[in-house]
Structure formats: C-alpha cells, structure tokens
Amino acid sequence: MTNSAFVKDYYLANRPLVRGANVLPIDCTNAETITPLTFTNQILTPFLGWLATNPTKHPQYIILFPEIPSAVCVGLDCANGGSSVSYGLSTSMSGIQPFITSINMGLFDTTNDCVHYIDKLKSFGTNNQVLISASAGVYGNTNYYFDDTRNLDVASYPNAGGAARSGVLAANPMASVTYSNVVPDPGGLQGHITTGSNVAGYLSWSAHSALGSSYATNGYVTWSGSSGWWIIETIESFNGLREYGGQAFFLQWFSLGAFGGTNNYSKTPVGAVSHVYEPGGNWNDPATYFGLWEARKNFGICAWNSRRTPYFQAVGDPLVTK
C-alpha cells in the first residue's frame, strides 16, 4: 500500500527518536470495514506471528498508518457486533494490552494531512525527546473550551462538557475552562463557543447542535494564539468514519484550514478520540480524557483510559502530551 508505506517512512524520518522503531508490513485489504475472518488472517495473525518470533519485545505503543482498515464488522453495518481494528488488536495479545493509535488523516488517497501532522511533531520535538510536550517549550496551550449546548433530542444525555470541566479542574483547580450549556439549542451560533485562544482541549456536540457537521472547516469555530497542540472529543456516533456520514468527523479536524488556520494546519489538534461505528451512547469518558491530559499524561494513556466502547479509535501520536 503506497500511501501507508510513504507515511510510515516520513514518520520514521521526521518524528524525533523513532528511527529504530519496530516496523511490521502487512498485506491487507484497503477498505474501511472488514470481516472478523479478514481481520484475523490479514492483520492479527501476522502481528501475533511477529510477537512469537520476537518473544523479548512487548510493544506498549502501536501506530497504524493509512490504508489499514478501521472497523471489524460481523454484519454488513456492524449492527450484529464488531469492534475497531485497534481495539481488536489491543485486546488479542496475551500478557500485554498496548495503546494503539492511528495516523491516518486525509481524504481521497492523499497523504498531505498526515505529512503536515508529522511536521507538527517535528517542529515541537527535539532530538532527545520521545515524549513531545508543547507546554514544556513555553507554548501557551492553557485554555479548555467545553460546549454542552445541544439539541432537544439529546437533552437527556449527561452533560459531557460539564464532566470534562470537572476532570480538568480535579487535575488542576486553577485551570482555565470556558463552558457553555444552553439546552435546547436556541439555533444559530448563540449559546455556542465559537472563538478561543491558546487551546488545550475542546468538546462539543457538533452535529447534535446548531454547529452542524462542518463547523471545523466553515468558520463557525476558530482559534487564535497558541492553538496547534490540543485534543478534541465530540459527542457523535460516527466521527471515526472515513466516509462522510452526516456528522462531523476526524478527517475534517486535521484538514487544511480547520479551526481558522489560514491556508495551513496551524490550528488543527494533536489528538482525537472517535468511533468507527455507533457506540450506543458509550462515548469516551470526557472527565478521564481531558483530566489526564491536564495532568500531562501522554495522549495514548488519555485516550485509551477514556474508552467506553469496542468501536473506539484514537487518532494521533501516542507519545504527545500537553
């Protein structure tokens, strides 16, 4: 798979201190969704074989590159059971359960979004830094923006933004948190957080509110200042799909010009949690996700400790921190 190999090579050449990382090439179907049998034959079996031939190696962090399938489905639409590929891998290894993330941004067989994401890691990292922290370099990513304003049909769900705020303040009572909660959504952008600076984290209900499904790229939500190193969660069921499904999705968040970046990637996030199929209301736990980020845990730990569904997908480098 040409794009996958290219991004892997670019990552190894440009992300600090990963040149010696273990690499496993697999010959798998280039599809969004695969069956359990295909997952076992094309992905799990080669990986378990690599572990068997390298018994002293116990990988704690694994990155999946573009063109690796995202979802494992028993039925045609996962309604009869399944999981994400990353969850299936992580839970199928005896004695270890690694944190698996994906660097798989980009639509239409382009690698541009992945390349620019890796360039961001390179610009913030140093030659002796495996764990890349923006704030360690006096970067001002200090402010959280949690938007609970949402439509009436999801009004009965718990306040995800309120939980996120509680998690951050539990980690740091002095943290800067901006919060909105207008239910039902009055329409338009009133009641929503649409601007912010020096962003550390963001949550919204996006397509379940007047923000709609294109807020990241249509100018509804724009950041300023030091806002190139933050994490995102949205309360939507299908935000991990590569095909547009009527909701906001991760490919938008990491795309050119997102969140007010002027013809560049200066305002895109550094990490995101998402779902490759309907999680049944079991969205990632925002208190854990953002609380651990404020506590300066790495993204892999923040994301996987917040997981509440087997359809979980984490997007980004696992070893970045606030």
Q: Is residue 141's pLDDT more than 70?
A: yes
Band (pLDDT 50/70/90 cuts) for residue 1 is: low
Query: Based on the domain organization, do 147 and 211 belong to the same domain?
Result: yes
Q: What's the confidence (pLDDT) of residue 237? A: 94
Query: Same domain for 102 and 250?
Result: no
CA distance 117 to 317: 9
Question: Are residues 63 and 103 part of one domain?
Answer: yes
Asked whether the bond before 184 is cis by omega within 30 degrees of 0, the reply is: yes
Closest CA to 234 of 190, 283, 278, 192: 283
- pLDDT top residue among 126 and 167: 167
Same domain, 253 and 175: yes
What percent of the chain is predicted at pLDDT more than 90?
A: 84
- For residue 18, being part of any structural domain is answered with yes
For residue 118, give the nearest of 257, 275, 265, 312 by alpha carbon.
Answer: 265
Q: Are residues 112 and 165 in the same domain?
A: no
Does residue 206 belong to any structural domain of this protein? Answer: yes
What is the structure's pLDDT at 134? 93
101 inside domain: yes
Alpha helical stretches, state H, 200-240: none
Instruction: Based on the fold, state whether residues 33 and 113 are members of the same structural domain.
Output: yes
User: Are 113 and 145 in the same domain?
Assistant: no
If asked whether residues 104 and 46 sit together in one domain, one would say yes
Query: What confidence score (pLDDT) does residue 206 get?
Result: 97
Residues 208 and 161 in one domain: yes
Of 268, 10, 17, give the one whose Cα is nearest residue 126.
Answer: 17
In a domain, 313, yes or no: no
Residue 115 lies in a domain: yes
Q: Is the residue at 100 inside a domain? A: yes
Least confident stretch, 37-41, 132-136, 243-247, 284-288? 243-247
If asked whether residues 140 and 267 sit together in one domain, one would say: yes
Q: Could you tell me which residues are beta bridge partners of residue 99?
A: 61
Average pLDDT for 110-135: 92
The CA distance from 144 to 196, in Å, is 9
Write down the pTM of the prediction. Answer: 0.97
Identify whether 310 is part of a domain: no
The pLDDT of 288-304, averaged and rounded, is 98
In a shared domain, residues 66 and 145 = no
Classify 286 as helix, strand or coil: helix
77-113 pLDDT per residue, tens? 788 889 999 999 999 988 888 999 999 998 777 899 9
Burial tier of 189 (Cβ tally within 10 Å: 0-12, 13-18, 19+): middle
pLDDT at residue 157 in the model: 95
Q: Are 153 and 92 found together in one domain?
A: no
Structural domain span for residue 43: 2-124
Tally of domains within the chain: 2
Q: Which of these ranges, 4-18, 119-133, 158-172, 266-280, has the smallest mean pLDDT?
A: 119-133
